[in-house]
Structure formats: structure tokens, C-alpha cells
Amino acid sequence: MAFTVTGVANRGMALIGCDTVIHALAKATEMMRRGYLDVMIADRRGAQYTPDQFHRFFRS
């Protein structure tokens, strides 16, 4: 997996692996729409980005 998307909801923390930039952004957007807080996307090196930062750095 190239990216990991994390977020916190009242049910606990979610962690989703994604293979592409597009998939990571889609999952982050979905999580925010569902009410998750502190949604972050991490790359293979462990650097973490907010979805907005990730979009600016990794857009194709």
C-alpha cells in the first residue's frame, strides 16, 4: 500500500490502506462526509498530510 488514510469517529479510529492518490483522496473525502475527525493521509515514509495538503502535493 502506498498510502494510509486514518480518521476518528465516535466508533473509534479507522485505518484504510490505499494504492493510489485518487483512492486515498476518495476515501479521505468519504470519511469526512461521514463525520470522521482528524482525517489524515500518510505516505510510505510515514509523512502525514491533511486531505487538502495531500491534494496540493500529490495531484497529477
Q: What is the DSSP letter of 56?
A: H
Q: What is the side-by-side order of every strand in the sheet holding 3-9? A: 12-18, 3-9, 37-42, 48-49
Tell me what pLDDT residue 60 has: 54
Residue 14 has pLDDT above 60, yes or no: yes
Nearest to 15 by CA among 49, 45, 39: 39
Mean pLDDT of 38-51: 95
Q: Measured between alpha carbons, how far is residue 34 from residues 9, 47, 59 in Å? A: 9, 24, 23
Mean pLDDT of 10-28: 95
Local confidence band at 57 (pLDDT 50, 70, 90 cut-offs): confident
Tell me what pLDDT residue 55 has: 86
Q: Roughly what angle, to the nearest 10 degrees, separates helices 51-58 and 21-33? A: 160
